[in-house]
């Protein structure tokens, strides 16, 4: 194979430059093998194959396999509804990281339905579980609407490695596709590669990135908000450095950043998004409580659902009440592609996790 590639390459090289046009998407290189084997550029902005539900199903496949294997035995024809049934269902839900409180609520709903309708077989409760899970998730499925405010300032926070910077890049793509102009603020001044990473996302999305080689994060975001006002930009996405909730001095810095944004534009930030890594499981709940206490979180972004078999954590988070209110899950991420971060849809999530009611059982 290598000999054939080299032969073709030498043949192409012998042609005059004006008679050999490099085809679109081909990178010229001095390496015969690399010319053919690695020459095709990947279109980073090309729409991935399949619709969102297909990608969501694929992203939740690990959770669906684990949970589905256990539920298929419980909801089969002839399976008696007894205490052992409910105990096994509880184990299945807890294993998928649905959480103690959410699991108890779901099982209470199934118990009440079985008692009221005098059901005797597990198969009869399959649709009840779907409906109960949807009812639990639906209040959290509140889309983020920038409204008429210009610029609409979104501040993102989270622990190290949650995926804030990558989420900002994907959110920029999402808002652009929705017809909004976007500006990015490189407010993560702690991590050496953060500015370069956000700049790369800016180039991919063809949006401006406001950054400083060094300096105060609040000052960077202050400049970005002022620049957005001067340019008439629709949306500002402000990155911040990752930090643990136990790092009190760093949490205090987040509070300072919020105050500075409000000084640049009274009433801003208009949205404070907490980015959560789904692989953190129940620890994500502790993060929600800590960051909300410091910042007044207004929405959540749940990332990396494709990398865990515990996607049930979405239910645990949706059930969580902070300050007497349920926090909206604005977006969920199920992959590395530009299109793999989308608004949370409770119905689509339940379909991807448990299967559609019309799917063969």
Write b or e for each residue in 314-341: b if 16 or more Cβ atoms lie within 10 A of its Cβ, otherwise e.
bbbbbbbeeeeeebbbbbbbbbebbbbb
* pLDDT given for residue 357 in this prediction: 56
Q: State the virtual CA torsion across 104, 347, 269, 244 in degrees, nearest 10.
A: 50
- The full length of the chain comes to 361
DSSP classification of residue 279:
G
| Helix orientation angle between 248-264 and 217-231, rounded to the nearest 10 degrees | 20
Which residues are registered as beta bridge partners of 326?
A: 321
Distances (CA, A) of 358 to 34, 126, 135: 48, 12, 19
The encoded tokens of residue 16 equal 């005059």
Residue 82: alpha-carbon gap to chain centroid: 38
pLDDT tens string, the chain, 361 residues long: the values are 444 444 443 444 444 433 333 333 322 223 222 222 222 233 344 444 457 678 787 877 777 777 777 788 788 888 899 999 999 999 999 988 899 999 999 999 999 999 999 999 989 998 999 999 999 999 999 999 998 789 999 999 999 889 899 999 999 999 999 999 999 999 988 776 778 888 999 999 999 999 887 678 999 999 999 999 999 999 999 999 888 777 777 788 899 999 999 999 999 999 999 999 988 888 888 899 989 988 999 999 999 888 776 788 899 999 987 666 788 999 999 888 888 899 999 998 898 888 765 555 4
* pLDDT given for residue 23 in this prediction: 33
As separate numbers, helices (DSSP H) first and strands (DSSP E) second, the chain gives: 14, 10
- CA atoms within 13 Å, Cβ hemisphere of 250: 17
pTM of the predicted model as reported, rounded to 2 decimal places: 0.81
* pLDDT given for residue 322 in this prediction: 65
Distances (CA, A) of 153 to 211, 226, 245, 272, 342: 16, 11, 23, 9, 19
- Would you say 237 and 182 are in contact if contact means Cβ atoms under 8 Å apart? yes
């Amino acid at each position: 194979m290598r000999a054939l590639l080299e032969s073709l390459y030498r043949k192409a090289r012998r042609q005059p430059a004006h008679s050999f046009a490099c085809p679109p998407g081909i990178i010229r290189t001095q390496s015969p093998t690399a010319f053919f084997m690695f020459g095709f550029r990947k279109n980073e902005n090309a729409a991935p194959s399949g619709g969102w539900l297909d990608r969501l199903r694929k992203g939740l496949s690990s959770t669906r396999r684990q949970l589905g294997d256990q539920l298929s035995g419980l909801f089969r024809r002839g399976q008696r509804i007894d205490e052992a049934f409910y105990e096994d269902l509880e184990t299945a839900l807890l294993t998928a990281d649905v959480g103690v409180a959410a699991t108890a609520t779901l099982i209470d709903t199934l118990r009440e339905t079985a008692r009221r309708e005098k059901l005797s077989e597990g198969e009869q409760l399959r649709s009840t579980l779907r409906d109960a899970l949807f009812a639990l998730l639906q209040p959290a499925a509140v889309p983020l609407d920038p409204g008429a405010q210009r610029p609409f300032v979104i501040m993102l926070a989270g622990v190290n490695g949650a995926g804030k910077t990558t989420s900002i890049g994907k959110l920029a793509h999402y808002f652009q596709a929705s017809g909004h102009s976007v500006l990015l603020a490189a407010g993560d001044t702690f991590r050496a590669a953060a500015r370069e990473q956000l700049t790369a996302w800016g180039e991919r999305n063809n949006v401006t990135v406001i950054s400083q080689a060094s300096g105060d994060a609040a000052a960077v975001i202050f400049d970005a908000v002022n620049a957005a006002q001067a340019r008439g930009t629709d949306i500002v996405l402000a990155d911040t450095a990752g930090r643990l909730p136990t790092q009190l001095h760093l949490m205090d810095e987040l509070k300072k950043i919020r105050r500075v944004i409000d000084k640049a534009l009274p009433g801003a930030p208009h949205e404070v998004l907490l980015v959560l890594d789904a692989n953190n499981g129940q620890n994500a709940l502790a993060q929600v409580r800590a960051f909300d206490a410091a910042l007044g979180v207004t929405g959540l972004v749940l990332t990396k659902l494709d990398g865990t078999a515990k996607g049930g954590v979405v239910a645990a988070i949706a059930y969580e009440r902070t300050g007497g209110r349920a926090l909206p899950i604005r977006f969920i991420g199920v992959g590395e592609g530009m299109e793999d971060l989308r608004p949370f849809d409770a119905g689509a999530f339940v379909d991807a996790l448990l299967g559609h009611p019309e799917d063969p059982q």
